[in-house]
Structures are given as structure tokens and as C-alpha cells.
Structure 1
Amino acid sequence: MKVVIIGAGPSGLVVCKTLLQEFSEEYPFDPIILEAEDDIGGTFQYRGYENASLVSSKQITSFSDFRLPLDHPDHLTLPEYIKYLRDYARHFKLDDRIRLGCRVTRIRRDPTGGHVVEFVESKVSPQAQTIHADFIAVCSGLHVIPSTPDIPGIENVLHPKISPADGITPQVYHSSAYKARAQLANRRVMILGTGETGHDLAYEAAKAGATEVTLCTRGGFLSFPKVLNDFQLLGFKFEGNLPIDGLITNLFETTYVHPWVAKLHLRWFVSDFVIKRVLWFLTGTQAGCNQWVGELDSERLGRAYVFLNKSNKAMPYINRSYRKRPKFMEYISRYIDPPEDSPPVTNFSVELAPFPTQFLPSGQAVFPVTHRKESKRIQGMTIKPQTVIYATGYTQNFDFFDSEGHYPTLNDIDVRNVFKQGDESIGFIGFVRPGVGAIPPISEMQAMFWTAIITSKIPVPTSLPHYHLLVKETARIKYGVDHSSYMSTLAKDMGAAPDLWKLWQEHGAKVLICYCFGAAFTPFYRLQPPYQTPSAPQIVKAEIWETIARRGIFGNLFMAIIPMAGYAIVNLLALVLEGIWIVAGKALEK
């Protein structure tokens, strides 16, 4: 059974490995990865930049059966992660399955069944080659095709009415073309977009010696550090060094959740309510962790709506003109800015602004007047950037699919964001983005789920999903999911979500505690069939136990036991109300 996998990033690699391990006489999978670039790694390899590191922790990001050493730092640099992917490919003998420099140009349906894949191998011949495939795994990634919204007059930045006398050549480019700080030195820099890349670039510009940095936001952001650390309470400093993506617990949030609670997303709203008030007490603001400007509108502020921005190194520069907190509160509790900027090296500020509506012939940016704090402040400034960077994300385009083949698009994928019902031979792996978490482990779960479907191990699920982030129909990005809810849903579909009683019986109390107190770590879902692996219990007892124990007694009390107790009460109330509803319904029938 030939399987063509498009893309040799993390998603493509884990799909290939999963298929090879499921090889049998009944399903003799023969996967091949076609990668357009000259090396593996995808976005991490080709759209990375100097000083970039993962904002997701190694505990979440690593594949379930290929872990990093316990003493390795929690967050990898991009070169370290690319090396990890190479080691993964070598360990599972995937290298011979990868064909580099092969760009897929067309996929059409074969009248006799399956698909015909046409591709061009750039270093061999411009002539298209073909492969007949029984299955297609699209793993080309969310972050490949730059998205650059049109701003009237942007050409005036490159060709202002009055030529600059400083000899600096103006530039306009997408963040995918940014590679090093040297590109930002001694320039007036404007960055469009306040996602993690935008914040990274604002920080890099400040450190590069940019003369001016303006960071433009569409509608705000939710800032949170990737590591929960450096809080001071009543003079005592908390240095837990806890990755934020590993703090969401399983018990009563992803497992043993009443259907009503899941459908109404009550656990998200409960956690948002608590977190906002804890943030106010610790940092003085509910907008984010020590975030004093750029707050989201109240109806979008919370984990149910947006992707957390875990790149917070630029926040000291962004906050500088806005931070106001009573001194007496600073004696009670305070958040200490990231160590490399504590104390800040200079008095340099990154100015936050709305997206410009246009650029005048002089190259000056024009900003809209809104109710937001950053809008009011920027109106009194003259901003003429010499470098404009679109940190505006990416779009997806599957133009290699033949239009007559009625192939699905991302909007058509109605079964767990992986395939279209009735067209299981085409899987889309890695095309959801978690609010907090990472795409690679989601891709691994999707790979196992899709493989279980096409090998008839499990039926196509029909239950309604409750893992999507809550967005309006007009939202630009609709592929956001809650990491824990999504992982748990796929695990339940496969029968891989552990039962607590069986977990204790088969693996003991230590594994049971880790599962209850831990986040949706992928090894949890390999403790039992259909993808059980002997290494999973040891990984849980060692690496995940260390992650949970690192919180300490008080950390586990406030971050695990109390939240779990709160969720337990919510689920219990739902169960009681359901019982009353059933009894009342039977009484009315009589």
C-alpha cells in the first residue's frame, strides 16, 4: 500500500514512522515522503531565525517514544530541535523513505482507485514523475505561505517623497525572510503583528540597537511567559521554573468530564475566572501576565478564545510607558521581568500601536483613532519606518489537488480535523494549532488516529467535538483548538484514554498520580492499546513525575489539587442536575 506523505517536517516524519510500525500482511504500508526543500525540518528549518527557541516545552513537544534527557533544558533552540528531528528520523530508519527536492505539482484521482501524484525532482529533471498512491498524508504545515495584508501606500515606505539622507535603504518584507539581528540595527523598525514572532522581533530589534521600534496589533494579545517563574510573594521569591504548557491537569478537565460541562466549555471559563484574579494579585493586571497594554477586548480575553503569546521578552519594553501599580502592592507580590532584562539595559521603549490604515507619500504611518490606550498615545507621534516587517502569519493553499477530483479543503475536514467523512484515504496532519501546547504531539496523535481509521481498528467517530477555540464566523483563523481537550478526544476515539482504576491496577499509584496531575502528555495515551508501547510507563515514572514533582507541595496544591477540586464540583453539579432532569422527565411521562 503506497502512501505519499507531503512534507518532511515533524508531522510528515511521525506519520511515516507510525505507518511503518503498523505494517502487516493485511496492511503492507509503503510510505514515501516528498519534501520540496533540500533538508527536513519544515518551518523550524526554513522559517526560523537567530536566537529563536521553542515556546513549547520538551515534555509536551517530544514524540511519545523518543524523549530528550532529563537534564536537557526544558525549551530547545531551533537548531537543537532540528537535530532532534534528524535523530528521530535516523532512530526509526526513516531516511531511506525521504526524497528531498521533490515538489508535488498535481494530485488527481485514479479512475481505478487511489490517487496519481505528480511531482518534480528539481536536481534530477524538470519532467514530472508520477506515483500511484493508495493514501495521501498532507503534512505541508500551517506556516508555509506568507500572509501579507494589503496596506494602502506601503510602497511609500520603499520610495518616500523625500529620499532619506541617512543612506539607509528602506525595506519591507515578511517575517519568514528575517534571519538575524543585523537586519534591524540602526533602523526605525515597524512590526505588523503581535503574535509570538512579532514579539520576538520587537525584542530582537531592541537588542539590535534599532533607533525606534513600533509594534502594531490588530486587536490585542494575551501575554504569558513560557516558564512560570520569578514571582515574589511577601518577600519570598518563587523560582519553580515550570513550563506553562505542563500545568493543565487531566483529572476532571479532560477525563471524567460531564458532557454538559464539555459542551458549554465551563472548565475553560472557570479557569479563566480564577487565573485573571490570580494575575491581578501577583502582577497588578488581568490583561495577561504583567501585561499593561495591548489587552484583548473582554469578550475575547481567556484561553477559550485565543492563542497564548508565550514570547514575553519584549514585555518590559512594551510596558514601560504604561505600567502603574500602587507601591504597597509591590511589597505584597510582584512579577520579576525576564532575567536578561532585569534590570533593563536601557530606557528604550517599544511603542505599541494599532495596524496602520495607510502610509502617506512621505512614508509616515497613519493610525486609526480607537478607544485603546495604544491608539491614543501613538496619535501624538510621527512614525516613519525604514523597515516594515509583516509578522502576520501564514495562509494555506492546496493548489496541487486537481479541481475535478473534488478534493477536500481545510474547511471540509469534518472528522476530528483530520479527514473528510467518506474520503478517509486523504489525511491532513498538523493543521490545527493549540491555544497552549504544541503541534508536533498533536500530529503524532492525529497520525495514530488516522492510521487506526484506515486499518479499521476503530470506527469513524460520530460524537460532536468540543475542543475548538471559540471564534466568530468572520475570524481569520478557525483552526485553533484547546490542546488538552483535542488530545483527549482523539485518545477516547481510539480507546487509548486510560481508565483510572485499570491504570492503578496495571501500572501502580505513581503512574496514576502522574496522569491525574499531569497535562495531556502523549505517553499517557500509549499506556494501553491500540498503540501501547513498553517505554511509556518508564517515561511517565521518570520524566513526567519529575515535571510534576518540580512544582513542589504548594505548587501542586494551588496549580493541581485546588483546580481539580473546583472542576470536580462543577462536574458533580452537572451530574446531579442531569439526574434531576431524568427523574423529572420520567415523572412527566407518567
Structure 2
Amino acid sequence: MKTVAIVGAGPAGLVMCKSLLESSSPDLAFDPIILEQEDDIGGTFKYRSYDNANLVSSKQLTSFSDFRMPMEHPDHLTLEEYVNYLRAYCAHFSFTDRIRLQSKVVNISRDPNGDHIVAYVHKSQTGEWENVPRTIRAHYVAICTGLHVIPAVPELPGIGHIAQAFHSHEYKSRDQLAGRRVMILGTGETGMDIAYEAAKSDAKQVVLCSRSGFLSFPKALNDFEIFGFKFESNKPLPIDTLITNLAETAYVHPWVAATHIRWFVSDFVIKRVLWLLTGTQAGCNQWVGELEPERLGRAYVFLNKSHKAMPYINRPWRKRSYFLDYLSKYIDPPEDSPPHTNFGVDLAPFPSHILPSGRVVFPLTKRKDAVRIQGIEVKPDVVIFATGYRQDFPFLEEGYPTPDQADMRNVVKSGEETIAFIGFVRPGVGAIPPIAEMQSLWWISLLKNQVRKPLPPPHYHLLVKETARIKYGVDHSTYMSTLAKDIGAAPGLWELYREHGLHVLVAYCFGAAFTTFYRLVGPHRSPMAPTIVKTEIWETITRRGVLGNLLMGIIPMLFYLWLNTLALALETASFLLPRRMLALLTPKTM
């Protein structure tokens, strides 16, 4: 029996525990224990939540492979609903008793025989941490503490002149914003959410500061109008379910994967479609805050799916003729449109400093929002740092690797396979929980010596500069399929047809990189997978309609199939040509 210490009871830690129990065998039996410092499970979704917060990833993608959220639930859950889902997950697979709450890991050290000594303290009934640590001797360790734990707060000269300043993890409700002048630093999804909440709370002023722009998209496609005809639906399409598998993640030639040409082609097409539908290609109905042209696209950035604040941000900038608006436009929600509200959110660059008077000074650049903000007096009562989080692992003794050193699929460091980092990549479009499940299955396969070797080169990282603050970005579908191929869980088309029939085969070709697809075959196959594919996932695909599946399914697949076939032909020709030339030059013997 191999003891596995799991640090953290968020989604990554929970799915790691469940996967270990399910994968135990007489040859390698696992005994997982989860150590969680809080008094409940859920991690970020529980302890860094706030009023009116919803998941920006769809339930179809975020649900674990074999325990799905009910189909009658909305596509995007509240954080409270998601934490309840996690509780139900623990109960369904009967591992709640393996979670030790209020147990804080303080040190992980190496045992002389190669195991790990995990020291932790428990919180007493008085709320104090124990003085004497308890220990677990573990054969394996899974670090599942997540990307969003330790707040990152940049220095801002003069911040002491502001009445109140705090990090976004302390934001909980509109009461903290009502009647105040609010400045928010950061245009990630949390910053955008808080800007919207401030606008709806009757704040006196809201200024949202962006480092270098963002790429805005609604989490679900709906509310377009073309030639006066409104495209509205009770079930809008979650955008993270629209990318197809065939020839984009499955059956991709190595040359095509290495050049990322699929990403660039989709960027080119999406920009033109956005311009036709909304009048701007900076983002979906995004008229300011655009990224630099060389960073605008799927290959470079994390899509911002918190779209609620955009009607307020766009207000000073959206200028389009009546004729073009008639041709096509994006319809803002009525409750966020004049005459219901004329309130706006001012966009600005990050401030350089704050004067003793409390007035904020912004650098003057060529950005149009930077020029406009110079003529506006900004003297906030409260500053909120929506500036993300940093990763720190003080409990790991010197010599242990960290996630940035995990050179094997961002999960483990070569030669250090007994310690894994689960959930420490961030998808450009997608969700971390399903990635954590695939990482868990991959690590278990590695421990069982079931991972193909040598590993093919990784072609899933987002293309960031060396100076980029975040370097752990991945393309969701490419990363998921890479892990699946490594462990023999990526199904072949003929294999799918033979074992599960045409229905499952078509769903796989048209579907996104759902974890359930990678449990149809291979070492971690699940008896639940075929039914889930034929029901929930099939419903998601058919919801696109005939036109949607033509434009977002058949046409892209045919194009990418042609592209991959061309690459295969060129590879074959480059291989055969030298052999034929050698045959011509070799003297023939009688």
C-alpha cells in the first residue's frame, strides 16, 4: 500500500484522491490522504468568492469526467453551486473520510529511504494551530494548492494616501463599493467582475486600470442581431465548447502542431467574424482596451470571459453608423443599457503614483484610454488590487522542485516523479479542474510505467515573451489531448466506431476536449463515458444547430484535414525522394 499525501482540498486535490483510489490495483495500491488548512473543501471557489460570482467556464467542460452536473442546471454555475457539486462528488465516490480539514502542511522533507515526511499542524477547538506538528510518511506527494492562494500586490507609490486599499480576495459584496469612488487595478476576470459590481452598486466613480489590454469575450454566444433579425436563445452556446476535435486536436500532424498554424488560422477567421458581427475585432463588442496587434489571438493570451462590464466600459467609445448597426450588432443586456443606466466605467493604464492630495497620476501613452483619462480627475476612496496571485511553497525543503521546474508535461520534474504538481497550468480558453483530472490520470500512469517514452515535444504552451509575468499558460484542447496521447487514452476513429458506434464517433469529432472523451478507451476507461457522450455532450453539440455545426464544425474540420494531409504528403515525399535518388546513383549488379 503506497501512501499519497495530497496538499489541498480544492478541485485538483479532490480529483487526485478519487483517481488514485479508482486506479489502485494489487500491483500498486494507493492510500491517499488529503490535508487542507481551511475548515471546508473548495479552495478558491469557496474562500475567494464574492456575491454574484459565477463560473466563466461551462458545466460541460468543468464537470469531472464521470460525475456530471444535472442537465437542467444552467450552463454557468454560481461558485456556491460549484462547491456543493464538489461536496456531492466526494460523497458519491465515498472518500470524504480521507479529507483532514484544518490541517496545515508546514514542512515536506525527504526520508533517507527516498520517501517524504509530511509535517502538518492541526487547528484546535480554540482556533489556534498546534505547536507540535504531526507527520505522515508518504511514498508520493501531490501538491494541489492551486494558482490562486497568495495575493500578488505590486508596489504603487503613494498608496498610503488612499483611505482604503485591499486585494481582490478580500472583496465580498457591493456594500464595500456603494457610494464610493473606486479604482480597480487589473482587467482579469475578477477585476472586470468588480468593475461591474461597482457600477451596479451606485458607486460615485469607477476607474478600471489595465496593464496592456485584454481580450474580451462573453462566456456564452448569444444576443446578436443581423439585418434586424435577433439571434436569441434560452440556451446560448458556451464558447469553451465550440472548438472541435477532429484535425485540430486529434489527428494533427507534428509539423502542423509545431508551427501552431491552427491557432493563427482560427485567430484570423475569428477577428473577421467579430468585425462583421460587432464592428470591432479587438474582442467581442470590445471598443477599447485592445491588445497590441502581435498579442491579439488564441496563441498569446487568456481570454477574458467576464463580459458583464463591457457595456459600461464601451459607453464613451462605441461609435458606429446606424446603417452598420442595422447590418449586424451585439445587443447589450437591457438592464445595462440606457435609459436604464448611463453610468460608465473609465478605462485607464496602470497608475504611476498617487499624489499626497489623493489624486492618481497616469502615464501618458498613445493608448486612447490613456489620453482620455488625463482630463478626468481620479481621487479614489478605495483601491482594489485585482492583480492576481503568486506561487510560493515555503513548506517544501530546499532541493525540492517547484511547478516552474516540472519539465515533464508541467506535472513532474525529471528524476522527481514521486512529487507531482496538479493544477498549476492556466488555459487560454477552458478550465483548470478538467485539466487537473487529466494531469492526475497522467501521473498515475507515469507511476505505473504506462506513459509513452520518450515524450514528444510539447506544442501546447501559449506563445509568451520572456518578460511575460505568466508563463504557465496552455491551449486547453492541445494540452488535454497531449496528455491523453501520452497514456494511450486518445481514441482512434476506427477504434471508437468499433467499440462505441457511430453516435459516439460523431460526437468525438464535433466535440471539444471534454475529459470524458479520454475515458472511452485506454487505461482509465469508464463505463459511464459512452452514456455521457450520447446525452449531455451530444446535446451541447446539437444545440449549435445545422448552421452552427457547418460554420464551426464541418468547414474548420475539412480545412484542417486538408492541411494535415498536405503536411503528411510533404513528409512522405521528403522521406521517399532521398531513397529514390540513392537508388538511381547506386550501380546495378548482375
State the TM-score, normalizing by the size of structure 2: 0.96
Query: C-alpha offsets along residues 523-580 of structure 1, whole Å, 9 cap, x if unaligned?
Result: 1000012111111000000001100010111111111111112212222222232233
SS of 2:133's partner is: strand
- Are the equivalent residues in 2 in contact too, given 1:316–1:344 (CA < 8 A)? no
Q: How does 1:93-132 map to 2 (within 5 A)?
A: 93-123=94-124, 125-132=130-137
Shifted more, 230-239 versus 492-501: the winner is: 230-239
- Are the equivalent residues in 2 in contact too, given 1:33–1:99 (CA < 8 A)? yes
- Are the equivalent residues in 2 in contact too, given 1:6–1:34 (CA < 8 A)? yes
Q: How does 1:8-407 map to 2 (within 5 A)?
A: 8-123=9-124, 125-157=130-162, 170-240=163-233, 241-343=236-338, 345-403=340-398, 406-407=399-400
SS of 2:119's partner is: strand
Q: CA deviation at 1:122?
A: 1.5
Query: C-alpha offsets along residues 340-385 of structure 1, whole Å, 9 cap, x if unaligned?
Result: 4245621111000000000111111110111111001001111111
SS of 2:284's partner is: coil
Of 414, 422, 433, the match for 2:426: 433
Shifted more, 339-348 versus 81-90: the winner is: 339-348
Size of the aligned set, in residue pairs, is 576
Counterpart CA distance in 2 for 1:23 and 1:75 is 33
Counterpart CA distance in 2 for 1:185 and 1:441 is 37
Shifted more, 457-466 versus 330-339: the winner is: 457-466
Residue identity in the other structure for 1:253: E
SS of 1:508's partner is: helix
Counterpart CA distance in 2 for 1:481 and 1:378 is 34
Q: Relative to 1, partners in 2 of residues 1:93 and 1:460: Cα closer, same or farther, differing over 3 Å?
A: farther
Of 519, 523, 526, the match for 1:526: 519
Q: CA deviation at 1:232?
A: 1.1
Residue identity in the other structure for 2:283: G
Shifted more, 335-344 versus 190-199: the winner is: 335-344
Equivalent residue number for residue 578 of structure 1: 571
Q: CA deviation at 1:326?
A: 2.3
Q: Relative to 1, partners in 2 of residues 1:421 and 1:344: Cα closer, same or farther, differing over 3 Å?
A: farther
Equivalent residue number for residue 544 of structure 1: 537
Moved over 4 A (4+): 587-590
Counterpart CA distance in 2 for 1:55 and 1:520 is 17
Counterpart CA distance in 2 for 1:61 and 1:501 is 28
- Are the equivalent residues in 1 in contact too, given 2:274–2:284 (CA < 8 A)? yes
Shifted more, 327-336 versus 219-228: the winner is: 327-336
Q: CA deviation at 1:474?
A: 1.1
SS of 1:127's partner is: coil
Query: C-alpha offsets along residues 404-432 of structure 1, whole Å, 9 cap, x if unaligned?
Result: xx110122100000000111100100000
SS of 2:375's partner is: coil
Counterpart CA distance in 1 for 2:19 and 2:76 is 25
Equivalent residue number for residue 163 of structure 1: none
Residue identity in the other structure for 1:567: Y
Query: C-alpha offsets along residues 231-268 of structure 1, whole Å, 9 cap, x if unaligned?
Result: 11122221250000000000110011111110010000
Residue identity in the other structure for 1:238: F
- Are the equivalent residues in 1 in contact too, given 2:455–2:486 (CA < 8 A)? no
Q: Relative to 1, partners in 2 of residues 1:200 and 1:137: Cα closer, same or farther, differing over 3 Å?
A: same
Residue identity in the other structure for 1:38: D
- Are the equivalent residues in 1 in contact too, given 2:199–2:343 (CA < 8 A)? yes
SS of 1:215's partner is: strand
- Are the equivalent residues in 2 in contact too, given 1:118–1:128 (CA < 8 A)? yes
Q: How does 1:448-467 map to 2 (within 5 A)?
A: 448-467=441-460
Counterpart CA distance in 2 for 1:57 and 1:173 is 30
SS of 1:5's partner is: strand
Equivalent residue number for residue 486 of structure 1: 479
Counterpart CA distance in 1 for 2:209 and 2:574 is 50
Counterpart CA distance in 2 for 1:130 and 1:492 is 37
- Are the equivalent residues in 1 in contact too, given 2:490–2:522 (CA < 8 A)? no
Q: CA deviation at 1:459?
A: 4.2
Q: CA deviation at 1:293?
A: 0.1
Q: CA deviation at 1:585?
A: 3.5
Provide structure 2 residue ranges, at least 5 long, that are not aligned to the other structure.
586-590
Query: C-alpha offsets along residues 288-335 of structure 1, whole Å, 9 cap, x if unaligned?
Result: 000000000001000100000000000000000001122211111111
- Are the equivalent residues in 2 in contact too, given 1:254–1:485 (CA < 8 A)? yes
Matched, 1:565 2:570: no
SS of 2:137's partner is: strand
Counterpart CA distance in 2 for 1:234 and 1:578 is 47
Equivalent residue number for residue 165 of structure 1: none
- Are the equivalent residues in 1 in contact too, given 2:511–2:541 (CA < 8 A)? yes
Q: CA deviation at 1:457?
A: 2.6
Counterpart CA distance in 2 for 1:301 and 1:512 is 34
Q: Relative to 1, partners in 2 of residues 1:132 and 1:460: Cα closer, same or farther, differing over 3 Å?
A: farther
- Are the equivalent residues in 2 in contact too, given 1:199–1:313 (CA < 8 A)? yes
Residue identity in the other structure for 1:285: T
Equivalent residue number for residue 405 of structure 2: 412
Q: CA deviation at 1:583?
A: 3.7
Q: Relative to 1, partners in 2 of residues 1:387 and 1:265: Cα closer, same or farther, differing over 3 Å?
A: same
Query: C-alpha offsets along residues 79-128 of structure 1, whole Å, 9 cap, x if unaligned?
Result: 10000000001111111100011111111100122011111112273211
Matched, 1:443 2:448: no
Counterpart CA distance in 2 for 1:461 and 1:245 is 31
- Are the equivalent residues in 2 in contact too, given 1:217–1:294 (CA < 8 A)? yes
Counterpart CA distance in 1 for 2:242 and 2:182 is 36
Equivalent residue number for residue 588 of structure 2: none
Counterpart CA distance in 2 for 1:439 and 1:343 is 37
Counterpart CA distance in 2 for 1:304 and 1:172 is 34
Q: CA deviation at 1:587?
A: 5.1
State the TM-score, normalizing by the size of structure 1: 0.96
Residue identity in the other structure for 1:94: F
Shifted more, 273-282 versus 234-243: the winner is: 234-243
Q: CA deviation at 1:66?
A: 0.3
Provide structure 1 residue ranges, at least 5 long, that are not aligned to the other structure.
158-169
Q: CA deviation at 1:171?
A: 1.0
- Are the equivalent residues in 2 in contact too, given 1:119–1:130 (CA < 8 A)? yes
Counterpart CA distance in 1 for 2:190 and 2:121 is 32
